[in-house]
Amino acid sequence: MSDMQENGSALLTSADYTSLNNQIKMFKNGFSASNFGNVYNFKTSIDNKLLELYEELALEQVSNGSSSFSLDAQKAPFSGLVTYYQDGYESVDVKNLTPELFDKTVYTKQSLKSDGQVSVGSAVCKLINDEEWNIAISLSKDEFDKVTQNEYASFTINNSSRRIRSTYDKIEKDGHYYIVVSFNKYIAQYVNERFLDINFMFEESSGLKIPASSVITKDVYMIPVDYLTGGSGDSDLTHFNQVTYGNSGSTSIKQISPIIYFTDKRFCYVDPSSIDSDAVLQKNNSKDTFSVATAAKYTMDGVLCVSRGTAEFRRIEVIVSGDDYSIIKPDLSYGISRYDRILLDGHSMKEGELIYQ
């Protein structure tokens, strides 16, 4: 560089000085002694910037025949994007993903830029001649389940304002979970980066916001819907016919109406505290019976509501689950309303306990 300047070449323009000055200012403003290793990254970035300026000037002199050095231009085998680093990931394929590939603490990146001589056969750059590339994203099981609920993934890269919406491929391998997004554009912006920050975007959900610490679970009975019947003068199917046994061995039928949290096509989900565990139910107009003792159990999410002085279990359906808060579906049967009071710590009391003030 010194030789070129001595021969009258202006290596740095005012714009180049401004660019270097801005890099220095950014480094100073963001420097922290706890991350002293960034000093070496900064040194490398400045060295690379100077080398780029040198190479641009050298190529210009070679092109116009004004070079006083033993320089000979060699054309690349094909046109494309040029980048100046190697990291051992060049042959990695989405078919051989492992958790170790995502560990940035052991990742190393070798700069191919050099101000000295390079041995024959050594790499001096990487050429990329197409725009096809992939982003492989490692996720936890919960993250994987959440992201793959939709056919399309929406996300931003490196906090960019550009929101990308794309299909993806799912990979489950050795207990690890990945999604792979394919692109045919944007590669020029990220060609010098191996790791990217991906922020997923999800559709807005409306509902009731509750603390995640309030959520508890409760096991309820799953009773076939075939055993539901209407009550006396009531056409709504909210009752069961329970078989009762007399002292002489005779049987009779009485109607009961336990708390039914909800029903689907096959089962109704019944509060165990509102029906006898040894109850025997009989279908309408049939001799078929069902013993509640043989009923399967369903684990239901809920909260303890304390609006009426006792801790009452109320059913919830979580739409969006976060670390601190959850969004739940409003207007559920046996659910909660907007101004109901619920326990912040759902495990601090038991269902049915009195609230003392």
What's this model's pTM, rounded to 2 decimal places? 0.47
CB-based contact 319:210 (threshold 8 Å): no
CB contact set of 300 (below 8 Å; sequence gap of 6+)? 217, 218, 219, 220, 261, 269, 315
In the chain, what percentage of residues exceed pLDDT 90? 40
CB contact set of 198 (below 8 Å; sequence gap of 6+)? 135, 137, 155, 156, 157
CB contact set of 75 (below 8 Å; sequence gap of 6+)? none
State the pLDDT confidence band at 319, using cuts at 50, 70 and 90: confident
Tell whether the model's pLDDT for residue 277 goes beyond 90.
yes
Distance CA 239, CA 280 (A): 13
Distance CA 308, CA 58 (A): 83
Residue type, 150: N
The domain locations on the chain are 1-74, 84-107+120-203, 211-328
State the pLDDT confidence band at 67, using cuts at 50, 70 and 90: low
Q: Name the average pLDDT for the chain.
A: 85
Distance CA 146, CA 139 (A): 10
pLDDT of residue 115: 63
